[in-house]
Structures are given as structure tokens and as C-alpha cells.
Chains A and B, each alone.
Chain A
Amino acid sequence: MRYLTTLKVEAQPEGPPPADLMEAIFKLGQEATEAGALLHQSGLAPSSEGARIEVSGGRLTVSDGPFAEAKEMISYALYEVKTKEEAVEWASRFVKLHRDLWPGWEGQVDVLRLYSPEDFAPPA
């Protein structure tokens, strides 16, 4: 099963993330890759570099970022694992690193299952 995890930041101290944290994130990513679980991951540039396409009242509008959101989405990861709990475990390890190595940081990770062929399997 594949899971997409997205990281949103709620509050973070001024300045760039500590080097320790970046190194720990890199190590964890490597570990998850070598465990065969992490398929892909990437950071996301600020929404000021993105756009939003919206339909409302039948009207389609395209607006450039930034979007006024309290939480900025900053990265995602794609895992292939056997259970939801496994995806939750990897994501928890990722968040724990932020908690432990960047005091004052607050944020959240959403864990979302991707549909796969078995969701559309012919009825047995």
C-alpha cells in the first residue's frame, strides 16, 4: 500500500532549520529508502512560487501564491508499506526529529492512503 505524507508547519523559530535536524532528516530518509519503504520525497517551495486554481459558483479562477494559510505545506514523502501503522511510524519518526532538534517548532503530518489497483479489483 502506498501512503502520501505531507508536512505542514504551524510555527517555527526564526532562521533556517538547525544543521543537526537537516542531517537527522537526511539519515532517516536514507534509512527509510534502504528499508525499501520510501519511494520518493521532496521539499515544497513556498506557496508564493505556486498557484491555485479554483472553481466557485461556476467560475474558474487562477490565482498566484502566496495563499493566506496558517499552515504552509513544506514537504511530502511517498511510502510503500504493508500497513497504515507502518506509514504512521515513519512519519512519527520524522516529526520526532523536529520536536527534538528544533525547539519551538510546531507542525503536523497528514498520512493519506493512495488508491491502488486492488481498490478497483473485479468482484470476487
Chain B
Amino acid sequence: MTVADSHRAVEAVWRIESARVIAALARMTGDLALAEELAQDALVAALEEWPRKGVPDNPGAWLTLTAKHRAIDQFRRRDTYQRKLQEIGRDMELRQETAEAELDDALDDHIGDDLLRLVFTACHPALPAEGRLALTLRLLGGLSTAEIARAFLVPESTVGQRISRAKRTLTDKKIPIELPPPAELPNRLASILEVIYLIFNEGYAATAGDDWIRPSLCEEAMRLGRILAGLMPAEPEVHGLLALMELQASRIPARTARDGSPVLLLDQDRSRWDRLLLRRGLDALRRAEDLGTLGPYGLQAAIAACHARALKPEDTDWERIAALYRLLAHLTPSPIVELNRAVAVGMAYGPARGLELADALREERALRDYPHLPAVRGDLLAKLGRAEEAAAAFRHAAELTRNARERQVFQERAAALST
């Protein structure tokens, strides 16, 4: 094995184990920044030692133990040693061995809880969204600053700053590394789900292009979703989000034409949908349904499932989709959801009914510059045979969009209707 090979092997172990190592150290030290620093030190030690001595049989335990020893060294060296000992010993007078034994216990137990605490801390609402994103990918995804920067198309220094600022905020605001009290859980969980879905969408939005680094964010988000589903199996929205991501990701192979242009859902070659992800998504949705009422993510997954279950576009159960959008609009009222509902209603009950809903949105300020409102209206008007109005709507949509390819599509439809 060459040095490069064994470095890659160490990195693989790091990616599998780092979140747990950091989580255990964070609990032990009560300090996220320090925990990451210690874990990184252990990684450096592994990179030095494993290529010479071989990868140990239990590499995760090796990393944790090494990090723990460094923690003890650090405490000894720093004047915080006594304070830390007291904190760990809960104000008891302690000899060093007792402290180490306690550290051992602290590291051995509750691995799952440790990880969950780490998730909740990295996604704390006190941090700005971008800080939460970067910190989560770094601490739980084991991604390097450079990888995160590449995925989000921002300079590495920016990501570095976001991460260190987030860690500083956690320290300055004395945010404890702990599970939130039950009353706060729904809010805090919402923040975690939001972060994971933001990561997913960052990748998904890019899947119709030729940039394949960003789509790997989808895999990362799904991995985080699966970890969370393992940690909080009783929360329906966790399974709902996972279902939504797996169902959407199942379409990735069909979303792009050979020339790189995006293919809309109803035009996609469904035989290219990823059956494995599709089935996993439906399974996760079923788990969410079994656990109780669907939340916003579960409902969106249920809508995605209607498409997934239809072998041909014309088999789509639009009535069910329209009903699900109605529930979604009730839970999370938004003009975008309402516009989607208009499309579904148009498919289920005819273009006139859909147009009624879409027209009602024309006064909506949030949609004033939203190209898809006139595009949807154009489509419905065309179906109703009102060609002139439809062409005008598509021209309007073409003016509003900033996406060149989309503009071309809208202009073509307008032209076809004007002749």
C-alpha cells in the first residue's frame, strides 16, 4: 500500500468515525471547538502512524482513545485543568485516575445520544443558516472546508470564517451541548430538518446542470437524513423528510437530457428513475404515516409519492395531489404552494378550475416577479383555447425569468400560440 493509498484509507475511516469521535469529545469537554480540534489532532496522528504500523483493528476506538489522551494532556497543560476536572467530577475532589475513569465512561456510553446532541448543537437556531449548514457538513458529514466551499461555490476562506464564527457564537452565547428540553424539541428539530433540506436542495438545484460536485450534496443530505432517522426513529417528520429526499433524488437520472438541458417531471423517462431510492422513499413515507399525521415534509413526500407510483404520467392521481396541496397550504400557507395547487387542480378538475386559483394569485406581491405564475397561467389559458392571452402570459414569463434556457422555452411557447 502506498502512502497515498493509506492516506485515503485513513480518510475513509475518518469519514465513518469522525462525527462519533467529535460527539463523544464534545460531551466530555463541553466545548465543540475544542472537541473538533482534538479530533483533528487524532486524525493527524493516524495519518502519521497508520501508514507505518498499519490500520488498527478497531480504528474508531483508536481515534477516540488518542483524542481522549490529547484532551487529558491539554487539560494538564492548561490552567483550566483543575476547572475541567471539577466540572467532570461534578465539584468533587478528584484524583487523576478517577477523572480518567470517568472520561472512559463518558466516552463509552450513549454514542447515539452524543451524536444527537452534536446534531442539535450544530443546527442551533442561534446560528445563521449558512453557519449551521457549514458546521453540520463539517462535523457530521466529515467534509473538509475545501469540499464544502466547492459544493457551495464560495471561497474556502468564507466557509472557514462561517465555521469559526459559528463555533465562536456557540461558545460566546454559552450554548450547552445538550438535547433540548421536550417543550423546545419541535422547534429545534425543525431547524435540523431545514438544514438538511437546504443541503439537499443546494445539490438538487444543480443536478440539471453539468456540475457534478454539487449533486453529491444530495447524497450527503440523504446520508444525514438517514443518520437522523436512526437517531430519532419516532419522529414522523424525520422519516417524512427522508422520504421526500429519496423520492426526489430517485428522479435525478431522468432530470437531464443528453444535451444537459433540464427535463420537466411530466416529460421524464420514468424507466430511468432510480427504483432503489424510489422504494426506499415510499418505505420511509409509510413509516412517517404509521407514526402519525404528516407534517410539511411528509406531505411533500406524499405528493412526490403520487408521481413515483404512476408508471405513466397519465396514471398520476391528480385528485390526491390536489388534496395533499390543500393540506400543505393549510399547514404552511404560501403563494408558491397555492400555485402548485392550481396546477394540480387544473390537472384533476380541468383548466378552468386551475385558472381560477392561479388568477387569484395575481395580486400576490410575493409572486409579482415570479415567472412561473404567468407560465402556469399561460399553460392553463392555452388548454382553454384562449391563445392570445396565453401567448401574452408566456411573453410575460419570458421577461421575468433570469434563466436563459427557461426564457427560450417560454418564448417558443408564446410564438407557437401567436401563429
**A residues apposed to B, CB below 8 Å:** 33-37, 39-40, 78, 80-83, 85-86, 88-90, 96, 116-118, 121-124
Size category of the B interface is: 20 to 34
User: B210, B222, B253: which contacts A36 (Cβ < 8 A)?
Assistant: B222
Is B33 engaged at the interface, CB distance under 8 Å to the other chain? no
Which residue in chain A gives the minimum CB-CB distance to B277?
Answer: A39
Residues of B within 8 A of A37 (CB): 16, 223
Within the complex, which residue of B227, B252, B253 is in contact with A34, where a contact is CB–CB below 8 Å?
A: B227
Chain A residue at minimal CB-CB distance from B257: A122
B288 → A minimal CB distance (Å): 17
Q: Which of B6-14, B87-95, B385-393 contacts A (4 or more CB under 8 A)?
A: B6-14
Instruction: Check B276–A86 contact: CB distance below 8 A.
Output: no
Chain A residues near B298 (CB-CB < 8 A): none
Q: Is the interface of A mostly helix, strand, loop or mixed?
A: mixed
Q: Which residue of chain A has its CB nearest to the CB of B213?
A: A118
Q: Is the interface of B mostly helix, strand, loop or mixed?
A: helix
Contact at A89–B225, with CB atoms within 8 Å?
A: no
Q: Which of A40, A85, A122 makes the CB contact (< 8 A) with B12?
A: A85
Q: Which residues of B contact A123 (CB under 8 A)?
A: 210
Contact A117 B11, beta carbon cutoff 8 Å: no
Please count the residue pairs between chain A and chain B whose beta carbons lie under 8 angstroms apart in the complex: 66
Shortest CB–CB separation between residue B234 and chain A, in angstroms? 15
Determine if B8 and A85 form an interchain contact, defined as CB atoms under 8 angstroms apart: yes
- B positions within 8 Å CB-CB of A: 8-9, 11-13, 15-16, 57, 207, 210, 212, 215-216, 219, 222-227, 230-231, 252-253, 256, 258-260, 276, 280
Question: 30 interchain pairs (CB within 8 A)?
Answer: A33-B230, A34-B231, A35-B226, A36-B222, A36-B223, A36-B225, A36-B226, A36-B230, A39-B280, A40-B276, A80-B219, A80-B222, A80-B223, A81-B12, A83-B8, A83-B12, A83-B15, A85-B8, A85-B9, A86-B12, A88-B9, A89-B13, A90-B16, A96-B57, A116-B253, A118-B215, A121-B210, A122-B256, A122-B259, A124-B210
